[in-house]
Amino acid sequence: MNEPLWTKNFILVSLTNFIIMLSMYLLLVTIGGYAVSEYHVSTSLAGLVSGIFIVGSLFGRFWAGKYIDILGQKKILVIGGIIFTATTALYFLSSNLPLLLAARFLNGIGSGIASTATGTIAAFITPVDRRGEGISYFSMSTVLSTAIGPFLGMFLLQFITYQQLFIICFIIAVVALSFIPLIKIAPHIEPVKSNMPKGFHLGDFIDKNALPIGIVVLITCTAYSSVLSFISFFTKENNLVTAGSFFFLVYAITVLISRPITGRMMDTKGTNVVMIPSFISFIIGLALLSITHNALLLWISAVFIGFGYGNFQSIAQATAVKVTEPHKIGLATSTFFICLDFALGFGPYVLGAVIPTTGMHGLYGVMSFVVVIGLIAYIFLHGKKAHLYR
């Protein structure tokens, strides 16, 4: 018989991750507007205010990746939860731009530490023979936050002030923190302290076994950053603002329907059976986006991107866990998220310089070729030996 997946701990960890990510995405899409209206900064500085959160998250993930297998997942989650909640309160004290940037950076550190811990705990408490399915379900908590957070943030600002939005985010962070003591980690799966050599060692922060799939994530998620960061500009340019507001809803529904199926397929049939079709679907979705001029085609592209990238992300995370040693699951999870954050955080800055040359439609055409490169990298870095990790 299959071991149970939907345990109390699994639900609590998924819910905690969802709430933390919800608070993150509520501000990620609105804080730039706050910086412009409150401090009259340029759009580039507003982008910095938004993006420095991801830089902080990277720092948090590096630290968590090094110490999670020494201190234990629960302690790291408590530390991350406290930092995230305390730094969310700093937004009330951000009376000038430098203080706001500092608050965003520190808030990102807390988010990076906490979400690395939740991802690691979810992998540990999921039955080994259902890990792909379990991580697929867990990662839906992030998908829901990416769909609900931006929508809720933009909707609420029609009726409330930024200060009131900060209060809501702080309350959300407190709720997440209150769930953490309820999560129980069995003693036999808590990592044992090891004698770590002093000084800087890359292996303390990056798991070498997870790095190949991490490189694939870096390439592929850079392409997705173009969707995350520029789809609003794209829809405005094509007079599809109303239809564009439903893009991520269609994306999220597609992921929610497909992930339970693809996660189980990964566990029973292997990684390639799911990963290669996901790449192909993502390529088709971006290619369709590059020729989109109407609402129907926009939503169809969202379906292909949802099935493609949405499943790629969860299967890649499960792969990072599968290829490493049991006592390095925390480090492997951190490695995956470091590559993910780096792509989503810095990708838009690079791609923004490409848009004047390619235009918005041309950008997504170029990104479809970037995913082709990601597929080739996957085949050579992992696909050829995927059968070894069944």
Residue 198 placed within a domain: no
Does one domain contain both 274 and 346?
yes
Does one domain contain both 376 and 229?
yes
Q: What is the mean pLDDT of residues 109-137?
A: 85
Q: Which residue's structure tokens are 């866990």?
A: 321
Does one domain contain both 24 and 145?
yes
Dihedral sign from CA coordinates of 371, 244, 108, 64: negative
Q: pLDDT band for position 215 (50/70/90)?
A: very high
Q: pLDDT band for position 387 (50/70/90)?
A: low
CATH number of 83's domain: 1.20.1250.20
Q: pLDDT band for position 154 (50/70/90)?
A: confident
Whether 203 has a pLDDT exceeding 80, the answer reads no
Q: How much helix, strand and coil, in percent to the nearest 5, is found in the chain? A: 85, 0, 15
Smallest CA-to-CA distance from 314 within 250, 222, 221 is with 221
Does one domain contain both 130 and 248?
no
Q: Domain total for the chain?
A: 2
pLDDT digits (tens, 9 = 90+) for 20-71: 999 988 887 788 788 888 888 776 677 778 778 888 998 998 888 888 878 8
**Six-digit token pair at 280?**
């192909």
Pair 271, 145: CB distance under 8 Å: no
Which of 159, 186, 213 finishes a domain? 186
Distance from C-alpha of 114 to C-alpha of 16, rounded to nearest angstrom: 9
Does one domain contain both 348 and 211?
yes
**pLDDT for res 188:** 45
Whether 199 has a pLDDT exceeding 80, the answer reads no
Which of 128, 154, 186 finishes a domain? 186
Mean pLDDT over the full length of the chain: 85
Residue 80 placed within a domain: yes
Does one domain contain both 132 and 232?
no
Cβ within 8 Å of residue 297, ≥6 positions away: 288, 291
Distance from C-alpha of 361 to C-alpha of 233, rounded to nearest angstrom: 11
Cα 168 off chain centre by: 22
Residue 313 placed within a domain: yes
Does one domain contain both 141 and 232?
no
Does one domain contain both 69 and 151?
yes
Whether 2 has a pLDDT exceeding 50, the answer reads yes
Residue 137 placed within a domain: yes
If one compares 232 and 126, the residue with the highest pLDDT of the two is: 126
Which of 186, 218, 236 finishes a domain? 186
The total of other beta-carbon atoms located within 10 Å of residue 307's CB is 24
pLDDT digits (tens, 9 = 90+) for 282-328: 999 999 999 999 999 999 999 999 999 988 988 898 888 888 887 78
Distance from C-alpha of 292 to C-alpha of 303, rounded to nearest angstrom: 14
Does one domain contain both 371 and 312?
yes
Q: Which residue's structure tokens are 């490695």?
A: 335
**pLDDT for res 260:** 78
- Structural domain containing residue 12: 1-186
Does one domain contain both 217 and 133?
no
